[in-house]
A and B are shown apart, each in its own frame.
Chain A
Amino acid sequence: MANSAVEIGIAHAPHEVPTSFELGKLGMWVFLAGETMVFGGLMGVFILVGISHGGWGSDGAHVNWVLGAFNTLILLTSSLTAALAQGAARVQDSPRAKRYLSATALLGVLFLVVKAFEYAGDFRDGFTPLAALFWSFYYVMTGLHVLHLLAGIVVIFGLTFMVTPRTPAGWLERKLKYVCLYWYFVEAVWVFLFALVYLAPTAG
């Protein structure tokens, strides 16, 4: 924590009182706590409604879990590149951090492209949001996740364009910490969505 306190002391004007807490990080965690309630609430209702209906039956069996698994692999890899970008920023290698950041955003775009193909296939087969309760949940939960991912991609691309070889390493490291925290959270949400919406309905 001492290092964080020093960071705050440097980042702010001298007249401001340095805190023992990194406020940006605290704010991001408060935001993620709210997001957890949103996604957790949706997932909880999905599970309870599924139980009350005796499972999702044949509706749930039509999801393309192989494409879902491929998308999970893409997101896992994007988190790896995000972690590598953080590592590069920590050793003050801004150009390498920028390359890894770009890779992270591009993998996010690839996830969206695969998801678009998946949605198109579902629509073509008649599985629209109004086809059944399962599909309503499916589109709301995965759609909300897509919106979060999209926001992450925009921020990461924005950060990528702001990074130059002269970018102060401390600044980049701090920004990356918050952005990557959000990105990892979006990945963790997807891990549960994949288990809940793709694997569980097709199991057994």
Chain B
Amino acid sequence: MEQTEFSVSDSLKTWGLLVVLLLIGAFAVALGLPRSLALWVIFAAATAQAYVIGRYYMRLRSEDVLIYTLALLPVVTVIILAFVLIPDIAMHP
């Protein structure tokens, strides 16, 4: 199941895609886009990069539900914990 073939050209394509996403984030800063738009572009590009790394390099595309759970559970937990802290931040003097 996880013996997904992994050719040189696939690896190069994945690398190329990651470099393009890196450039998109960098250009958002270099071009001086408005801050809110730049932040959206930067984090969208970073999330897309993490997705590509997870799916193609870490082979999540061919993993089963247990590995997916192990990969996503800490991310979801951290997001929940961060949201739980928001009231404290909002009440910060």
Contacts and interface: CB of A to CB of B under 8 A. Distances in A.
Contacts of B42: 195, 199-200, 203
Contacts of A2: 1
B22 A40 contact: no
B71 to A, nearest CB: 7
Chain B contact-residue range equals 35 or more
Interface string A48-87: 1001100000000000010001001100110110111011
A79 B3 contact: no
B51 to A, nearest CB: 9
A121 interface: no
B70 A204 contact: no
Nearest to B53: A188
Interface in A82-119: 82-84, 86-87, 90
Contact of A90 (B1, B6, B66): B6
A40 B1 contact: no
Given A3-B3, A36-B74, A203-B28, 9 more contacts: A1-B1, A40-B77, A45-B85, A73-B22, A84-B8, A84-B11, A87-B7, A188-B50, A195-B43
